[in-house]
Amino acid sequence: MTALPSLAHLQLSTKWDSRYRIDGSRIPDSDHELPKLEQVGMAAVKARTATPADTNFALRELSFKLSIDQTKFYMQPAKYMPQTRPGEVCTSVGKVTAYQCMEGQRETQACHIGFFDAQFHEVGWHTIRINESVPIFCNSIPAVGVYDATQNAMLVTVQYFAIDHKPAAKPSEIGSGWKRMTVLLRLTSNNGKITVEQDDRCLGNPNQVDAVPDAKRALRRCNASLPSSAVH
């Protein structure tokens, strides 16, 4: 397995999601990248989720093109309840604040990032680890950024809450129990596949670093204090 020498470009979908050509004609779904990415992303999630009745998986506002060594990939964040055993199903009881499955287990949710090649084949998948001691519900990935382009290091900010947190009693309390943390992901490739290492050594897990710029500063301070052999 060889490390990718350069994470050359990370482009948010808002830069390439136009559905119209220069002449004003509409690009059909069969010829447009974003519908294709949404289709394969949905299929990948359906194969992994314990809540197949849910259709709000993809975080479409955070789809990316990833150019590495002049090779194009796509990156699709998603949020869903992963199966803890083959065939696991969770049917929500329907009460918003219950977070309970009719099958008996608690209804949780994790945040994930899928990688696809230029032909929209899945080439990598990573579930963000959040080491809380209580069941949680990851409800958003507010930001993704590049930390070190020469070492293919990315930063991802996630938002989550404990499912047993006291629910908001009034609109002004909504979000009061939500937490944010940022994780460092290191990408490597092998024969067109992407693998992800989540490196929590400097930032910790969980942490209270709620923005990518803050994570960059924290990592630089941490790396400056480490022996050169420990920094990669």
User: Is-contact 33 41, C-beta < 8 A?
Assistant: no
Tell me what the mean pLDDT of segment 167-189 comes to.
79
**Average pLDDT, whole number, for the chain?**
86
Of 94, 93, 115, 89, nearest to 102 by C-alpha is 93
Which residues, in sequence order, are CB contacts of 207 under 8 Å at separation 6+? 181, 182
The reported pLDDT for the residue numbered 174 is 63
User: Is-contact 131 203, C-beta < 8 A?
Assistant: no
Strands (E), the chain: 2-3, 7-12, 64-68, 71-80, 110-117, 122-127, 136-148, 153-162, 179-190, 193-199
The pLDDT tens digits of the residues spanning 192-223 come to 999 999 999 999 999 999 999 999 999 999 98
The reported pLDDT for the residue numbered 207 is 98
User: Is-contact 13 7, C-beta < 8 A?
Assistant: no
| Token duo for residue 113 | 């990032």
Q: Is 220 helix (H, G, I), strand (E, B) or coil?
A: helix
Single-letter amino acid code for the residue at 100: Q
Peptide bond connecting 206 to the previous residue in cis, omega within 30 degrees of 0: yes
The reported pLDDT for the residue numbered 96 is 72
Q: Is 115 helix (H, G, I), strand (E, B) or coil?
A: strand
Is pLDDT of 72 > 90? no
Indicate the Cα dihedral angle 63, 67, 71, 77, nearest 10°.
-30
Single-letter amino acid code for the residue at 159: Q
Confidence bin at 31 (pLDDT 50/70/90):
confident
Q: Is 100 helix (H, G, I), strand (E, B) or coil?
A: strand
